[in-house]
Amino acid sequence: MDHQIVGAELVPRAEGKRRFRRQILADWGHSCYLCGGSPEHLTLDHLVPRRAGGETCRSNLAPACAPCNRRKGCSELWSHWTRSEHWNQGRALRLIRWLLAAATVAEDTAAGPGGEPTRDPGAAGSADPLSDV
């Protein structure tokens, strides 16, 4: 069975993926970052499409409803979204804060040789990157 380490816990790979997905959805309040809707099922959209070299990592994923994700497809995010009927400056600022927080977490948790990560992005009590919204 394939396993991965999540925090300080060894879990099956599938469980690690579920936790990763659930955390991103929870951070966004289970709403689409593009239209703001809260459908029952959300997908994770690659902000920079995989086809354009985007990675499947926290800082490149945000929840999107299926119609918004299909419409965006592999388009460049900002040119697509700013022309969309769903363009909203408040959600755009929220996305920017999300990206900055995710980048900070990535830097903080990347321990160098002999270094200790300064915070665990999944730890209880971690700063909510969307709390100002």
pLDDT in tens, 83-132: 999 999 999 999 999 889 888 876 665 544 444 443 343 343 444 444 44
State the fold for domain 29-100. Answer: DNA Binding (I), subunit A (1.10.30)
Return d(Cα 9, Cα 41) in angstroms, integer.
Answer: 28
Return d(Cα 50, Cα 24) in angstroms, integer.
Answer: 18
Domain definitions of the chain by residue range: 29-100
Count CB atoms within 10 A of the CB of residue 42. Answer: 23
pLDDT in tens, 10-58: 888 889 899 999 999 999 999 999 999 999 999 999 999 999 999 999 8
